[in-house]
Structure 1
């Protein structure tokens, strides 16, 4: 297959080929060469084979992958592809295999062999691997881990024995401990300007996705050109095409997460039958459960077997929960016609209360569990049929038509074209549930909770001025697909764009917006500081400095550092409160979900609201007074936010004891969790940024060459490469670089013999 590779000064690959299949092969080849370690580890995740290569460090993920049936889902979706899409994916996979074979083992593999001994297994990518890589990059990006947290809050509150917790409406508790702010993994900004607002008279799109700051980076800058199209944008390494952000010359697109309640969690009752099989309680009685086992090999250890169950709702992800003794009316049986009920349910009078996932529940099983209904598994479809039409899009409406087949994650899309059309719309599949059914697990045995058809999404809306999408509560009810939204960034973005209404904007003007550090959440927290009296002079001075502060989390701001100190002390004090300490009870979802159940992180996000909760026994003024005194006593002259707010990238080797982990410079950062310039921390745990803008992009529809982009680290995943982290300094100050579109300004890359043929 004929392809060529060119590079710009930052090492960004521009792949040009004789036809679409040759281009897919070339994209796979160059991705394997640039991101060998990354695509291999994601492939191992997709197969549930991480522990086979990493040892104990991979076990937690492999268990979840098999319980969720991710390998099987990816294989089913691959088998369901149309012939042309399958040929395109196959060409990409062949390119990956050729690139890996020609590049040799990545440096990280040598490090694994040094630490763990032996030789890291190596085998070619299976045909379905690109779908698996895409799936694992989004499996926990869904809202279902959030619902598991909600479920945990409701159950532990009821079982805690704490009078204050037990007296609060469980839905109030759920909202309290999952406020309108970004979760552990997701978030994003995007905005669109109609040509009437721009210097060129053509539309302008910009934004930045927020995810965990993985090293190498989540996105890959790349250009893909063949006779059918010439598109540049941000790819997922290991996945063909440009599914999220792209500029095709006459059309461009970008996305944010719609915060949709897409994957549904069901509360299941399970029991074993006499023959060792499993059954689940459904709306019509006991139903058979699909039962399989998966063998997980562990490097340097003994293999383990994962019990895999799948009900009529979906794979069981949480097991071993004690069945509540919720009573049904005396004598009631929930067995379907002709089914053997087995032993009668325990219907003891007054045996417990409902766990607030609604309604009285018959006790007819020995085990309670949680299953997950994922769109991708229900339809054996990952939305890959959208990827090729997206590359061919010539207008904004072409983009919308291409994404009509999108599945997951559910996204908000901004699209524009050179003719001046700007559109905003949603893409993906989401169950048609009322808002009250999106917070907690549904009852598998209730007909009213049975799986619903997918919602019909609203038609694209035409933008005539400006549009902002930042995971906020949508103003249009037909775009409300979720339960928890993040309002602050959207409000701030609209204000920033409104402040610039008196001048026409160009790509360079987007830097000020990308870099904005105003944090509205600080104002909500400082409301509690304003009324505190009886302080020592030193603590009073801290209070006065904070109240005079402009709420900008700038790297050189000493007040931002004081605010972070105050926040951390308050988190430490509040997690010791009995009402909150109860939530640290074991969650049973397994270590792969620990980030969603971290009480310190949840308290940090809910801090301002918790300080008002006298009904939970919390004396907010006393905590704030003590925290101000502690901060004043420990204050260091000259301290500023950027001195401790540096990037904390996630690298797979960090979980392998004794392994040397590649590093990047510890540059000072501005911003925080829910500022436009997102550099999220875990208050009370670390002031370093573990999540944030994993790319920044600006698409100019007047001239693609004026477009801009940037990533946190570099184009290469090889720590020995000069392009491993050469964009980090630019990213750290929230800047971007111009894209290069002139082929004559690029450097041809010599290819190994036979590579481009």
Structure 2
């Protein structure tokens, strides 16, 4: 059976003598620390949210999960897994159900608020929760927006694409050993998603010492998705470490179909989105997600091991950064990317994972950007290049790099687009250094002007067709953000500014004149004293709409959308940061304890000391220690006692 230890921040460290005992223990810990989240993920995966919440948004989600056949795909994907993977996932489910059976719903604030008891997990539920987490993670929103903007603007549609447009993103980078103080590689990064409470990622350590199986003697720490066993995306296994970013690949296609077709009459490879539109996805077509990679990742000892494990991955498609103690630093693409014929039909899968090694003097950076000519085979909508360029600039040709240096890169709040936009109004922001610091008055004034400019742009007649495009472009509340012209114009503002500064009139608009008028708008309103007065981190809770208070304060936070310290705000809509870094980490291949990690609130989703004890370090741009010495950890003896009860 597994034994549970905790570090000073309540992070679970699990030890077991078999991978199934380890998975069973991880399932139990998921419920101990995140009981509400475990149930919420199950409800989302099984189209059960509306029955509990009764809201329009919940009903829309359930409709989408049914249309995208989450349960069916999860069942097929589990059946496609090896017997060993099925046993691993099954043991996790056993652990979840065992701990749920011991959980008093009244002791979990969210369940008590709803008067709801959690349901039992099925063997396929972990795959369903993982798939549901990523239903809208691909290109569906961007493709729907592209249909609309192309219809309204024709050849000028590219001006509102923000090199995507993509508001999602993450940063990951690595340097070779000749660039570090220790002589071994460093890996760092931060995934960007919606800020949620509880957080999407859980810090965890999984150690196995199977006396009969040398491959199952491993010790891996990282971030896992609650609801799935193992560590999927970010981990340090002692001899090797890895990290990912979204590759912005087109593994989901929106396809026009006869609007009179019933869902049952669609071709077998299509899923209904709405009348006249369907979706083709890699996971549904293949009946796989890639869970056969999970155990090989835990067993990995080298870059090559991680690389081979990720050959099994399906979706989401990721950019992967890997480094090991032998000094290898590698980039590779992981996941199934479809190859299309001239008519857009899928004819096979991209055979080249686009891998390359950086060398001991090298650097690998990935921030969802278009990486080069090969990217045209991967997708059409990438993030702008600003974050990737800035990280490379901050790394430069520096030597002797440490965890502290990487943490400073995490914390870089310089907005690369600020100097570009300021050129529209020469002299107006000469006293602003471009750093979106929470305490900055210059950042507050710049952001207020930017919002005023977006409001004026959206009101231009050339964009009128985007504001009221007709019912065929109404895709419901879940995709409303993707179709919001205010959001899209705000994201595309640097693209429009670059065109205007090149002596063009983007969309026939005199952008410098609008920019000057927007300056005048500031005189008629009160500008916040500092950026942090309105730019606050706002983690959302699934039950906020039904009156539940998660108890997490909304506090000032530095950063902005295209900064390395990504804390997305939406000009002309809200300055609040509702998405950004949902974790930060530095993996040091010389010494795991020399690295660090942090999440936005805490390791636990339950009220108590570890509910929000990482909030202040996260806000301040600091990492909390990684503790690997078992003697420095506190064992939870009741965990083993309950397992044998």
Whether these two folds match at TM > 0.5 is yes
2:529 maps to 639
Query: Do residues 650 (structure 1) and 540 (structure 2) align?
Result: yes
2:28 maps to 29
1:192 maps to 174
Query: Do residues 315 (structure 1) and 271 (structure 2) align?
Result: yes
Q: How does 1:535-684 map to 2 (within 5 A)?
A: 543-544=427-428, 546-585=429-468, 586=471, 587-610=473-496, 612=500, 614=505, 616-636=507-527, 639-656=529-546, 659-684=547-572
1:386 maps to 293
1:455 maps to 350
Deviates more, 1:385-394 or 1:39-48: 39-48
CA contact (8 A) 1:681 1:689 kept: yes
Q: Find the aligned partners of 2:171 and 2:575 in 1 and give their Cα distance.
A: 22
Q: How does 1:269-668 map to 2 (within 5 A)?
A: 269-271=258-260, 278=262, 291=264, 310-319=266-275, 369-433=276-340, 448-458=343-353, 460-464=355-359, 465-475=362-372, 477=374, 481-485=378-382, 486-498=384-396, 501-530=397-426, 543-544=427-428, 546-585=429-468, 586=471, 587-610=473-496, 612=500, 614=505, 616-636=507-527, 639-656=529-546, 659-668=547-556
Q: Find the aligned partners of 1:388 and 1:493 in 2 and give their Cα distance.
A: 32
1:254 maps to 243
CA contact (8 A) 1:382 1:407 kept: yes
Task: Provide, for residues 645-702 of structure 1, a one-character-per-residue CA deviation record: whole Å limited to 9, x for no partner.
Answer: 111112101232xx12213233221110010001001111111101100100110111
Task: Provide, for residues 523-579 of structure 1, a one-character-per-residue CA deviation record: whole Å limited to 9, x for no partner.
Answer: 22112112xxxxxxxxxxxx53x1342211111211110111001111222222232
Shift of residue 618, structure 1, vs aligned partner: 2.7
CA contact (8 A) 1:400 1:460 kept: no
Distance 1:206 1:181, change over 3 A: farther
Task: Provide, for residues 175-233 of structure 1, a one-character-per-residue CA deviation record: whole Å limited to 9, x for no partner.
Answer: 2222126634x201011110010111011100011111111111000000111211000
Provide TM-score, normalisation by structure 1. Answer: 0.80
CA contact (8 A) 1:610 1:618 kept: no
Shift of residue 514, structure 1, vs aligned partner: 0.6
Q: How does 1:239-250 map to 2 (within 5 A)?
A: 239-250=228-239
Q: Find the aligned partners of 2:208 and 2:238 in 1 and give their Cα distance.
A: 13
Report SS of the residue matched to 2:555: coil
CA contact (8 A) 2:290 2:315 kept: yes
Shift of residue 67, structure 1, vs aligned partner: 1.2
Give the gaps of 5 or more residues in structure 1: 114-119, 158-164, 273-277, 279-289, 292-308, 320-368, 438-447, 531-542
Shift of residue 754, structure 1, vs aligned partner: 4.8
Give the gaps of 5 or more residues in structure 2: 210-215
Q: Find the aligned partners of 1:467 and 1:679 in 2 and give their Cα distance.
A: 23
Q: Find the aligned partners of 2:533 and 2:110 in 1 and give their Cα distance.
A: 30
CA contact (8 A) 1:318 1:588 kept: no
Report SS of the residue matched to 1:529: coil
Shift of residue 608, structure 1, vs aligned partner: 3.9
Shift of residue 68, structure 1, vs aligned partner: 1.3
CA contact (8 A) 2:39 2:118 kept: no
Task: Provide, for residues 608-658 of structure 1, a one-character-per-residue CA deviation record: whole Å limited to 9, x for no partner.
Answer: 44464746453323322221012134345x8111121111112101232xx
Q: Find the aligned partners of 1:610 and 1:713 in 2 and give their Cα distance.
A: 37
1:734 maps to 621
Distance 1:81 1:99, change over 3 A: same
Shift of residue 270, structure 1, vs aligned partner: 4.5
CA contact (8 A) 2:340 2:346 kept: no
Q: Find the aligned partners of 2:331 and 2:196 in 1 and give their Cα distance.
A: 29
2:213 maps to none
Q: Find the aligned partners of 1:633 and 1:258 in 2 and give their Cα distance.
A: 43
CA contact (8 A) 2:3 2:639 kept: no
Shift of residue 37, structure 1, vs aligned partner: 1.0
1:124 maps to 120
Q: Find the aligned partners of 1:26 and 1:476 in 2 and give their Cα distance.
A: 45
Q: Find the aligned partners of 1:6 and 1:502 in 2 and give their Cα distance.
A: 38
Q: Find the aligned partners of 2:640 and 2:300 in 1 and give their Cα distance.
A: 34
1:225 maps to 207
CA contact (8 A) 1:311 1:371 kept: no
CA contact (8 A) 1:60 1:591 kept: yes
1:236 maps to 225
CA contact (8 A) 1:188 1:207 kept: yes
Q: Find the aligned partners of 1:476 and 1:615 in 2 and give their Cα distance.
A: 26
Q: Find the aligned partners of 2:88 and 2:617 in 1 and give their Cα distance.
A: 35
Shift of residue 152, structure 1, vs aligned partner: 2.1
Q: How does 1:147-162 map to 2 (within 5 A)?
A: 147-155=143-151, 157=152
2:66 maps to 66
Q: How does 1:38-53 map to 2 (within 5 A)?
A: 38-53=37-52
CA contact (8 A) 2:142 2:482 kept: yes
Structure with larger Rg: 1
Distance 1:624 1:460, change over 3 A: closer
CA contact (8 A) 2:259 2:277 kept: no
Distance 1:210 1:752, change over 3 A: closer
1:322 maps to none
Distance 1:619 1:596, change over 3 A: same
Task: Provide, for residues 351-388 of structure 1, a one-character-per-residue CA deviation record: whole Å limited to 9, x for no partner.
Answer: xxxxxxxxxxxxxxxxxx11111101111101000011
CA contact (8 A) 2:339 2:377 kept: no
CA contact (8 A) 1:313 1:451 kept: no
Number of equivalenced pairs: 623
2:579 maps to 691
Q: Find the aligned partners of 1:459 and 1:692 in 2 and give their Cα distance.
A: 27
CA contact (8 A) 2:614 2:624 kept: no
Q: Find the aligned partners of 1:502 and 1:615 in 2 and give their Cα distance.
A: 40
Distance 1:103 1:182, change over 3 A: farther
